[in-house]
Amino acid sequence: MTHRGSRVLHVGSLSRVEGEGSLRLRVHDGTVTEARLAIYEPPRFFEAFLRGRSYTEPPDITARVCGICPVAYQMSACAAIEDACGVTVDPAIKSLRRLLYCGEWIESQALHVYLLHAPDFLGRASAIELARTHRAEVERGLRLKKAGNSLLELLGGRAVHPVNVRVGGFHRVPARSELRPLQEELRRASEDAWDTVRWVSGFDFPDARVDADLLALAAPHTYAIESGTPSVLRSDGTFGSFPVRHFTHRVQETHLAHSTALHSRLDGHRHLTGSLARFAISGRQLSPVAREAAVEAGLGDPREGAVCRNPYRSILVRAVEIVYAVDEALRIIDAYEPPGRPHTEVPPAAGIGHGATEAPRGLLYHRYELDESGTVTDALLVPPTAQNQGAIEDDLRRFAQHAIAEHDADDAELTTLCERAIRNHDPCISCSTHFLDLTVVRTSGGSDA
């Protein structure tokens, strides 16, 4: 046993993740005894101040939970409130929502692939540094990201916290002619997305396997985004699903004896949401062009039930999902006829409503309780990163243990390894302040000024 046999490793401020967190690794006699992704993002109390607001307000209010995936919050909020009020929106509105959501998927997945994740594979600190040697690639990533934002800006008014979403649908729907200029940008994006798949499939991927149960929405005949049934591919290969209204019975916080953290568990098992889970559960529903991209990326044929459990390779799945979202956006625009009315009327009703949609980084669940006047009396938001924390920490533990056992990795190597393990899952720490216990023990303060 070397002097490195026992140590505590602490990274005060994680970089290239959304929001602020830190990680702590405790090693005793060569064994990792604690691997913790700590959230020191200050609490903002959304569930508390949503009480007393009108049922029309959660889409705008909860968008502010996350500047990276505001559409996901708006869509889950609308779904839950419409469920509480017993209203199903017109199919044309559902389709337009999916188009808006495709914009967020393209923007957010391109952000993660190019600006947050790719620098790890190429040994750079940032995309800006990467641009010194890979200018064309970074420009391509920014162009893709911009195509997603163009969709968000046209349909939503702006990219961050769009203004055009309301319970029941939209304030205003575009004419066919307004969508036309987007087609050209999206066709270019389609080429860029394919080039992205080819580019990232040339990266070196360490061997790794996440054993968690995979949780994603599934929908008939389509890759689930804005609606679907929560479905689970368990680590033993069995498959199951449950109604959204049972979400909080199935996904629960568990207090682990060895830690002060409350972890979210699905039926008592560690679970993972996000790209890997979606690809495993809905891969068969990818469009032909996206399936082809998956094969090109080396992920296997989704029609034959290809599953990817290597979290490093999640960048491949995100690239395939960009191909899909661009293709899907073009399909929706091509078939678009303006809905007869911009929104379906949603009269207030007393009740409890549940909504779940696929945020770029995983399943986002909302629940609201309304009184007869439509006032929110109770609210619950369960973001994907809060669900993924247990699986992320399990990766941290196993990756670090392997590196120590195999070649007695030093602190610098372990730090890089752990940061990569976290970025693999595109955590959104701004969101995850709900549902989690925050150890606000802010070790070293995370201060950096």
Partner 1 sequence: MDATSGTRTPTLAVFKLASCDGCQLTLLDCEDELLALAGRVEIAHFLEASSAVAPGPYDLALVEGSVTTPQDAERVHAIRAAARHLVTIGACATAGGIQALRNYADVDEYRRTVYARPEYIDTLATSTPVSAHVDVDFELRGCPIDRRQLLEVITAFLAGRKPDVPDHSVCFECKRRGTVCVTVAHGTPCLGPVTHAGCGALCPAYGRGCYGCFGPSGSVNLPALIPLLRRDGMDEEATVRFLHTFNAPAFDAAGRESRPSEEGVAK
- Ranges within 307-366 binding partner 1 (CB under 8 A): 342
What is the three-class DSSP state of 50? coil
Q: SS3 for 207?
A: coil
Q: Point out which span in 44-52, 176-184, 220-228, 269-277 binds partner 1 (CB under 8 A).
A: 44-52
**Residue from 178, 181, 437, 443 that binds partner 1 (CB under 8 A)?**
437
54 binds partner 1 (CB under 8 A): yes
Report the alpha-carbon distance of residue 295 to residue 293 in Å, rounded: 5
Q: Cβ distance 186 to 328 under 8 Å?
A: no
Interface pick for partner 1 out of 28, 171, 187, 249 (rule CB under 8 A): 171
How far is C-alpha 232 from the geometric centre of its chain's CA atoms?
Answer: 17
- Distance in Å, CB of 160 to partner 1, minimum: 4
Candidates 136-144, 201-209, 220-228, 301-309; binding stretch for partner 1 (CB under 8 A): 136-144
Nearer to partner 1, 400 or 431 (CB): 431
**Which range of residues in 94-102, 310-318, 354-362, 438-446 is near partner 1 by CB under 8 A?**
438-446
SS3 316: helix
Residue 7 φ/ψ, nearest 5 degrees: -170, 165
Pick the binder of partner 1 from 161, 234, 284, 341 (CB under 8 A).
Answer: 161
Sheet holding 213-218, edge to edge: 239-241, 229-233, 213-218, 271-272
Determine which helix (DSSP H) or strand (DSSP E) holds 166, and give its type and residue range: strand 165-166
Distance of closest approach, residue 410 Cβ to partner 1, in angstroms: 18
Per CB under 8 A, 278 contacts partner 1: no
In the complex with partner 1, the residue whose CB is nearer, 112 or 354, is: 112
Closest CA to 104 of 283, 364, 288, 334: 364
Nearer to partner 1 (CB atom), residue 20 or residue 327? 20
Q: Is the dihedral of CA 105, 116, 233, 438 positive or negative?
A: negative
Report how many residues bind partner 1 under the rule CB under 8 A.
73
Tokens of 348: 């207030």
Establish if 186 lies at the interface with partner 1 (CB under 8 A).
no
Q: Does the footprint of partner 1 cover residue 191 (CB under 8 A)?
A: no
Residues of this chain, 84-103, that bind partner 1 according to CB under 8 A: none
Binder of partner 1 out of 6, 7, 30, 67 (CB under 8 A)? 67
What 3-state class would DSSP assign to 417? helix
Q: Which is nearer to partner 1, 159 or 297 (CB)?
A: 159
414 near partner 1, judged by CB under 8 A: no
What does the DSSP assignment read for 66-124? -SSSHHHHHHHHHHHHHHHHT----HHHHHHHHHHHHHHHHHHHHIIIIIIIHHHHTT-
Q: Is 126 in the site for partner 1 (CB under 8 A)?
A: yes
Distance CA 113, CA 318 (A): 7
Q: Which is nearer to partner 1, 65 or 325 (CB)?
A: 65
Nearer to partner 1, 163 or 405 (CB): 163
Q: Residue from 8, 28, 33, 45 that binds partner 1 (CB under 8 A)?
A: 45
Q: Check residue 136 for interaction with partner 1 (CB under 8 A).
A: no
- 236 lines the binding site for partner 1 (CB under 8 A): no
Regarding 180 and contact with partner 1 (CB under 8 A), the answer is no
Q: E strand or H helix at 215, and its extent?
A: strand 213-218
For residue 160, state whether it binds partner 1 (rule: CB under 8 A).
Answer: yes
The one among 142, 306, 307, 350 contacting partner 1 by CB under 8 A: 142
User: Per CB under 8 A, does 125 bind partner 1?
Assistant: yes
Q: Is 192 in the site for partner 1 (CB under 8 A)?
A: no
| Binding span for partner 1 by CB under 8 A among 12-20, 192-200, 241-249, 298-306 | 12-20
The CA angle 285-425-35, to the nearest 5 degrees, is 140
Contact 355, 365 (CB under 8 A): yes
Angstrom CA distances, 335 to 18, 92, 164, 171, 331, stand at 35, 10, 21, 21, 6
| Torsions phi, psi for 180 (to 5 deg) | -55, -45
What's the min distance (Å) between Cβ of 209 and partner 1? 26
